[in-house]
Amino acid sequence: MTTLSPSTSAPLNVALVGYGYVGKTFHAPLIATTPGLVLHTVVSSDPAKVAADHPDARVVADLDEALADPAIDLVVIATPNDLHAPQGQAALAAGKHVVIDKPFTVTLDEARALVASAETHDRLLSVFHNRRWDADFLTLKGLIAEGALGEVVQYESHFDRFRPAVRDRWRERAGPGAGAWFDLGPHLLDQALQLFGQPLAVNADIGIQREGGDAPDYFHVVLRYPKLRAILHGSMLTSAGDLRLSVQGVRGGFVKHGLDAQEDALKRGLTPADEGFGLDPRPGTLTRADGEAPTTQVVPGRRGDYAAYYAGVRDAILTGAANPVPAPEALRVMELLDLAARSAAERRELPVEAAR
């Protein structure tokens, strides 16, 4: 992927497509507070909602109108999952750089076609795997890099909530890309791949537990490595306990409770420009087991940094710096997302080679 033409320079004008929960809570404030990016246009059917938050942004009702604007450099797609592929293709064909919210697409074929299209049009294509910049994940990544845990043999990653009532929204209705596994699974898969690379096999249990549920609201997925077992778990009916990470190595273990605080901060209207943004109020615990007796210590969390994603996108477009989430990496997440769904349907472990 080459940089933009020499006539293009910062700031880059961004068109945000979709102003639902994800567009409003995550993308708009992160774009608006990233130096070198301008929230130029929002594609939305609710201009008043956008104007209340971003009065300087232009609002259009139609994606084609945004794509026809030569001032737009980057298109960010934050619409329902089944629109990611067609809207991404349209934006790439219009010569725009593209960011797509996770999951990348709803099928492997769609994801592969988008990767090919980005290469054909020589445009940046990136997927918003923002939880690479969670405070707890950055803390764990640092501990592993330092050797504090030794060889990791069990990795347990949870994204649990207590939402017993099924809500009337597309994520919880039957349809392509709906359900907890497509909503939360990409986060947990991407983090596991970043830490440990490609597994040998996947064994998944995905189901519906809530009364009246139409889309999966439970998953328990095991990624098998030569020694390591990576357990990815999500439930909408977890009322007791809030385990986030439990990671065991031959020299020690790390346990963390509570989700990263950045999403809640963004929901309250805070941004990375606010003091304290990204700080984790609940530190984890490190137990070292390489001495005569285990010792336990509190590990303050590293600062979470969702803003780093859009700063990385900006630099990739303007200077050719590394894409913060290259499309091929997002494609590997999609392969495992799909393989796990097949594993659950067939009720058996499937080798990762079957995803190729």
Buried b vs exposed e over 256-285: b needs ≥16 C-beta within 10 Å? bbbbbbbbebbeeebbbeeeebbebeebbe
H or E stretch including 13?
strand 12-17
Rg of the chain, C-alpha, whole Å? 20
The pLDDT tens digits of the residues spanning 74-106 come to: 999 999 999 999 999 999 999 999 999 999 999
Quick one: pLDDT at residue 4?
42
Structure tokens at 10: 């910062």
- Give the mean model confidence (pLDDT) for residues 141-168: 95
Quick one: pLDDT at residue 8?
63
Q: In the CATH scheme, what architecture does the domain 135-303+336-355 have?
A: 2-Layer Sandwich (3.30)
Which of the pair, 348 or 301, is modelled with greater confidence? 348
Find tokens 């109020």 and name the residue.
281
Share of the chain above pLDDT 70, in %: 97
Mean pLDDT of the chain: 94
H helices of 285-326, where? Answer: 307-319
Angle between helices 108-121 and 327-346 (to 10 degrees): 170
Per-residue pLDDT band at 294 (split at 50, 70, 90): confident
Q: In the CATH scheme, what architecture does the domain 12-130+309-323 have?
A: 3-Layer(aba) Sandwich (3.40)
* CA distance linking residue 136 with residue 30, whole number of Å: 20
Domain positions in the chain are: 12-130+309-323, 135-303+336-355
Reported pTM? 0.93
The answer to whether residues 149 and 252 touch, using CB atoms and an 8 Å cutoff, is: yes
The pLDDT tens digits of the residues spanning 297-319 come to: 999 999 999 999 999 999 999 99
Quick one: pLDDT at residue 5?
44
- Give the mean model confidence (pLDDT) for residues 338-351: 97
